[in-house]
Structure 1
């Protein structure tokens, strides 16, 4: 029974390790009472659907090529515009984010969390960042970072030692949510 709940990664696969860690970090954050904000994901899905519809219209338009030239040019232009918009959202808003949350219920802050991670290729250093989902908000705290070797969270067989990861992530959340010291 315990082996079913174990999370195992292929230690030779960088993406497998990052996926397991990101999934576990999301579980830790949501277990602390934060609710995931999926608005940005929904916007990306909507734009992706529009892109697919444009491609389908271009493919299955009634007329053949010489007659539908202007229609195809318009479809190609719209396809490029919406793809560019999707890439801008991914590059500027989403960045390395793995989770956006709403503010905690009953808290005084008006902003949720943006949890992001980095695991560079050919590196064992996993960097986890917790920041405000709205950094311009007056209630936004300074971002906090944790950089640790993934070897501290995985056994030699590739099994994630969740207790150690949970402890580190909970400490990072506590570090982010603590009140800043006021200077006199």
Structure 2
């Protein structure tokens, strides 16, 4: 486990819980040999910069709302269709010639304690892509009453899900 100290979450704030779990998942996946693919994040940052420049231009330009509605809709569609609930995109593990990277996504609905983790192929149309695997479990299984993440239990569950994905039989094409 790569943690420096105990990770504590506010148990009354589902965003805090999800953030701690998502951060820990990134550590587990990268410790298994997958390196993070930040290309989509970089595209999103670039698009965000363009949007900020457009907004600044619109703020100080003597015209009403700029006619950039289509551009903004396109940016939102990219995030909605590609990212979904993804928390991590990876490259294939080092030394793998037939594997695909992973898309790791998570959900923690508001007012629910059920956390869903999904691991899927970064290229679902690839011949080496496996079927997505899911883990749904109550966050109460991983946190103490004080809000400390029991990383050993959580890492075991995430590693078991990664192993389940890697052992999944290949799709018939």
**TM > 0.5 between the two?**
yes
Q: Is 1:77 equivalent to 2:67 in the alignment?
A: yes
1-side partners of 2:168 and 2:96: how far apart?
12
Q: Structure 1 residue 59: deviation in Å?
A: 2.7
Query: Greater helix percent: which structure?
Result: 1
| Candidates 144, 152, 156, aligned match of 1:167 | 156
State the superposition RMSD in angstroms. Answer: 2.0
Q: Is 1:8 equivalent to 2:8 in the alignment?
A: yes
2:133 and 2:164 in contact (8 A); partners too: yes
5+ unaligned residues in a row in structure 1: which ranges? none
2:130 and 2:170 in contact (8 A); partners too: no
1-side partners of 2:154 and 2:168: how far apart?
24
Report Cα offsets for 1:81-125 as digits up to 9, x if no partner.
232122111111100000000011111324200000011111111
1-side partners of 2:146 and 2:168: how far apart?
40
Q: Which runs of 4+ in 1 moved over 6 A?
A: none
CA distance 1:49–1:137, change in 2 (3 Å): same
Q: Which has the larger radius of gyration?
A: 1
Q: Structure 1 residue 182: deviation in Å?
A: 9.6
5+ unaligned residues in a row in structure 2: which ranges? none
CA distance 1:82–1:171, change in 2 (3 Å): same
CA distance 1:47–1:35, change in 2 (3 Å): same
Report Cα offsets for 1:126-164 as digits up to 9, x if no partner.
000000011111111000001111000000100000000
Give the alignment's TM-score, normalised by structure 1.
0.86
1-side partners of 2:37 and 2:157: how far apart?
23
2-side partners of 1:94 and 1:11: how far apart?
27
